[in-house]
Each structure stands twice: as C-alpha cells, then as structure tokens.
Amino acid sequence: GYLPEADGGLGLDYLTWAVMMEEAGYCWLSLRILLNGLNIVSGIINAYGTEAQKERFMRPLLRNERKTFVSISEPDVGSNVAEIKTRADKRGDRYVLNGSKLWITNGMFADFGIVVARTFSETCNGELSLFLVERDVTAYSVTPVDTMFTRSTGTAAFTFENAEVPTANLLGQEGQGLRQILIGLNFGRLNVAMGAVGAAQCALDLSVGYAQQRKQFGRQIGSFQLVQKHIVDMTMRTQAARSLGYRAARSMQNGTSRTECSIAKLYATEAAFDVANLALQVHGGMGYATGYPIERIFRDTRGGMIPEGTTEIQTLIIGREILGISALT
C-alpha cells in the first residue's frame, strides 16, 4: 500500500493507508491482521533488503504470489523482544537456527517470513538479526494454535532444530534486528489502531440499526434513555479513537510517530472492546449468538490489546516518552 509504485506498492500516504485499515477492520479484523503482516514484512524488506531479496520476496508478495509471516514471540518471550532465545549460528554459507516461536499470524499458510534470532558469528556475539526463512528451503515444524479471536488468521507455533538458512537470506546486517523490527512494529501499531476503529464503527452501526428496529414494551429500544446513553458513549469512543489514529498516521508521514502510534494503539484497542461490549449489551441475547457478528467483533476486539505491544507496554512507552524515564530499566 504505502510502498513506492516502482517496487510494486500503491504509493499511498499513511493517512490513506490508515483509512484502508479502518475499512478492513470494519469488514473483518482477520483481514486487517493479514494485511498488517504483509505490509510489515514488505516494508522491512524494502528498507533493509538487497535488490535480490526485493525481487525474490517483496515484489511477489505485493503481487499476491507469496504469503508471509513475522515470527518474534516465543513460549517464554513476549513483550521484551530483547530476551529472544532462538539462536542462529553461522556455519560457512549457512545460519543454523535452533529454538521455538509462538503466536505466528498466518504461520499455517505462509511460504516465507521474517524470523528474529540471536546471532553468533565471527562478527556478532548474540545480538538480534532478521532472517528471511522459506518453508521450501528451511526445514522446521509448524503446529496450529487455536485462539479465541481472529480465528481465520492461521496462528501457528514453529520449532527450529538445526534448521539451515542461506546467508543470502540475512536481512540487513547482523546485530541490527532489534532496531529493524521495532520500526516495523511501530507501523503495525497504527494498523492495529485503525483496524480497531473500523471494528468499533461496525459494532456501533449494527447497534444503531438494532436499537431503531427492535421493539420491547411496545416501543423501539432506542427510545429508552439507557440505550441512548450506550449509543452516545460508543459514538464518542469511536470518534476519539479515529482522531488519534489519524493523528498517528500524519505523524508517520512526518517521521515523528513513536509516541503517537502508541497512544493511538492503546486508546483505540481499549475503546473498540468497550464499544463491542456495549454493542453486545444493546443486542441482548442476539449479541452473544454465534450466528450474528457482534460476538465475533467482541472476541476480535479483545484480541487487539495484546499484539504489537500490550496495553501495559504501550502505557510504559508513552510514560517514558513524556517523562524521559523508563519504567523497564
């Protein structure tokens, strides 16, 4: 989307991209999540990849000829990326991967992706690096992981046991992986925020329509003051989240986005779940019936507070940027 047209992208500005992510979230949060992974991977390759890597991985990905994943989290490593244990030992013209990865979106379907690993070589002593790992080149096991939200995203766990990756698949330089992946995650936070806004708007629209049509005690339930209060609260939270998301998109365009993306992600995901919760209340029994979209939106919006940095991590990032004091060191 936002990548240059010459590289296969649409050349969009970040605000236009934010609107697209909102629309994707409105229709189906699983779609927004899959698009997020595609754009994080293509963006990192565009920024740090060689011309050969762009031709082999990025351009086919943008043409929808390949499917991708981002593999960061591990069974014992979540919010603190710096504690990753998966290691890559350089041996001749190969890196040998050993370790486990968890919560990999699209991991069941993708044919390649980015793996973050602690690297050991003549020039690198345990710093993180990024590797482009291909399913038909590197042997590793893939296990499905069932989740309560965004069930269509093919979440998986990977296990690497002496899995060989060609040195040509190192992305950028050894030891630069932490900085590279954090840049991708910052963009991901904007995507998560705007997808949450879209889901909230969908829940709101469904609730307005239901409150106008549903009758109890001989009148539309939308005429009851408490239902109107729910609708008003939902509207305010959705509009506020959208404004913060657009502000973050503009800051991405200006290159000053870390705090704004964290604020947008934190507020929008919490707001979306609150809106979905009220939408379920407005719908009553219909709200938690699996044949209706509200229960899916309720589950999916709850999931937004976890990936790309939890609510708690976003709070600490924002606090650090405001105060100049880190709570994590």
Q: Please say whether the beta carbons of 147 and 100 come within 8 A.
A: no
What pLDDT score does 8 carry? 80
What CATH number corresponds to the domain at position 276?
1.20.140.10
Residues 79 and 126: their CA atoms lie apart, in Å, by 19
Query: Which structure tokens are listed for 195?
Result: 């997808």
What CATH number corresponds to the domain at position 120?
2.40.110.10
- Domain end point (choices 140, 175, 210): 175
Pairing verdict, β 87-91 and 112-120: parallel
Q: Indicate the residue type of 249.
A: A
Instruction: Express each pLDDT in 198-255 by its tens digit.
Output: 999 999 999 999 999 999 999 999 999 999 999 999 999 999 999 999 999 999 988 8
- Domain housing 317: 179-323
Q: Is residue 328 part of a domain?
A: no
Backbone φ and ψ of 149, nearest 5°: -130, 160
pTM of the model: 0.93
Same domain, 183 and 316: yes
Pairing verdict, β 112-120 and 68-71: parallel
Question: For residue 77, what is the DSSP state?
Answer: B
Across-strand partners of 216? 219
What pLDDT score does 221 carry? 98
Which residue's entry shows tokens 């001989």?
218
Same domain, 194 and 296: yes
What pLDDT score does 220 carry? 98
Same domain, 171 and 183: no
Q: Please say whether the beta carbons of 128 and 95 come within 8 A.
A: no
What pLDDT score does 79 carry? 84
Residues 258 and 248: their CA atoms lie apart, in Å, by 8
What pLDDT score does 294 carry? 97
Our count of domains for the chain comes to 3
Question: For residue 15, what is the DSSP state?
Answer: H
Which residue's entry shows tokens 């979540």?
78
What pLDDT score does 291 carry? 84
Residues 163 and 102: their CA atoms lie apart, in Å, by 17
**Catalytic center residues:** 308
Q: Indicate the residue type of 310.
A: T
Per-residue pLDDT tens digits of the chain, which is 329 residues long: 678 888 788 889 999 999 999 999 999 999 988 888 999 999 999 999 999 999 999 999 999 999 999 999 999 998 888 899 999 999 999 999 999 999 999 999 999 999 999 999 999 999 999 999 999 999 999 999 999 888 888 999 999 999 999 999 999 999 999 999 988 888 899 999 999 999 999 999 999 999 999 999 999 999 999 999 999 999 999 999 999 999 999 999 888 777 999 999 999 999 999 999 999 999 999 999 998 999 999 999 999 999 888 999 999 999 999 999 999 87
Query: Which structure tokens are listed for 71?
Result: 């593999």
Q: Please say whether the beta carbons of 31 and 194 come within 8 A.
A: no
What pLDDT score does 1 carry? 64
SS3 78: coil
Pairing verdict, β 112-120 and 94-104: unpaired
Q: Is residue 142 part of a domain?
A: yes
- Domain end point (choices 175, 196, 219): 175
Same domain, 319 and 259: yes
